Structure 1
Amino acid sequence: MKPWIKRTLVGIFGASIMVGGLTACSSGVHRHGPMSPEKMAEVRAKVVDRVSGKLDLNDAQKQKLNVLADRMEAQRTAFLGKTADPRAEVQAIVAGDKFDRARAQSLLEEKTRAVQANSPEVINALADFYDSLNPDQQQKVRELMQRRRGWMARG
């Protein structure tokens, strides 16, 4: 496999793990509505601290990790869109006696555009962060990603 393909795949996978970690940390809050900006900042700080601690990051690496977190948060915000309740959008598609194909396609296209628009920034931030790690830290990332529950898992 070509190195740039491998890096891109690792980057996308790593980004999905971080987004998953942020989502997992916030999953309990969604039962009562979307997360407030204060709660999101709190969750983000915990995730950044956890990653920083596991990898023993220096200040420059922490700064790159924060840039990555900024990009991922922007990606998440763009993906969710301006809708107050994304679940209501999906429920509206199946609310009638027929599946609303046009509305489903429109929703899919909207979400795809949001991901495509911000993905280069996320990939670049992830690549900058990963490339700033020393070989031991990079190996630790690979080992943590091999664990069944992922590197953001508790325990």
Structure 2
Amino acid sequence: MVMKSWIKRSLAGLFGAAIVAGSLSACGHRMHGDGWGASTERMAERRAHVVERVARKLELDAAQKAKLDALATRLAEQRRTLMGEGDPREQVRALVAGDRFDRAAAQALVTQKTAALNAGSPELVAALGDFYDSLNPAQQQQVRDFLQRRGGWHRS
């Protein structure tokens, strides 16, 4: 399906703004060791824990769990790509290091992150679709219910 150019620009701007906002919030606090600076090993452990928890909640079979794991791997790859080189907090600090906000550098950062998002999104969307389509109707309803609630699996 071909999207209208204004929709593409709006989505790109929205994602770019979210990335910059996330970077700014990262400057303000850490996420208990699971945040921006977590090691690759720690992130892999966390991802495996989440996959196990979701698999239990949805009562996934082995094939479904494999698709969920593939989705989690794609999400982690997309995160690494979005993070790019260097510390995001340092990137944001550099924008406000002088007397004036560095608009050109901020726009370049947003453009870079948006390009990374666009490059990885087809594989991510395919993995998400493969996982969701592998679910039976009751499991799909559980996912929809989860998305309707505020919070996450830990609150159910």
TM-score when scaled to structure 2? 0.77
2:33 partner amino acid: V
- The match for 2:7 is none
Q: 5 Å matches for 1:1-155?
A: 27-29=31-33, 34-83=37-86, 85-149=87-151, 151-154=152-155
Q: Is the 8 A contact 2:58 2:139 kept in 1?
A: yes
> 1:55 deviation in Å?
0.3
CA distance in 2, matches of 1:148, 1:30: 21
Residues 6-26 of structure 1 show CA distances to partners (whole Å, capped at 9, x for unaligned) of xxxxxxxxxxxxxxxxxxxx8
C-alpha separation in 2, matches of 1:62 and 1:27: 27
Structure 1: any 5+ residue segments left out of the alignment? 1-25
Structure scoring higher RCO (CA < 8 A, sep ≥ 6) equals 1
Inter-partner Cα distance in structure 1 for 2:117 and 2:32: 24
CA distance in structure 2 between the partners assigned to 1:41 and 1:71 by the alignment = 12
CA distance in structure 1 between the aligned counterparts of 2:154 and 2:104, rounded to whole angstroms: 38
Spell out, residue by residue over 1:56-77, the C-alpha distance to the aligned partner (whole angstroms, 9 max, x if none). Answer: 0000000000110111011000
> Post-superposition, which runs of at least 4 consecutive aligned residues in structure 1 deviate over 4 A?
none
Give me the whole-angstrom Cα distance separating, in 1, the residues matched to 2:140 and 2:108: 40
**What is the rounded CA distance, in whole Å, between the counterparts of 2:46 and 2:40 in structure 1?**
10
Count residues with an aligned counterpart. 128
Q: Give TM-score, length-normalised by structure 1.
A: 0.77
Aligned residue type for 1:62: K
CA positional deviation for 1:37 = 1.6
Query: Which blocks of at least 5 consecutive residues in structure 2 are unaligned?
Result: 1-29
The residue that corresponds to 1:10 in the other structure is none
**Contact 2:64–2:131 (CA under 8 A) maintained in structure 1:** yes
* % identity of equivalent residues: 53
CA RMSD of aligned residues (A): 1.9
1:30 to partner: Cα distance: 5.8
Q: 1:30 to 1:143 in 2, by over 3 A?
A: closer
Q: Report deviation, 1:154.
A: 4.4
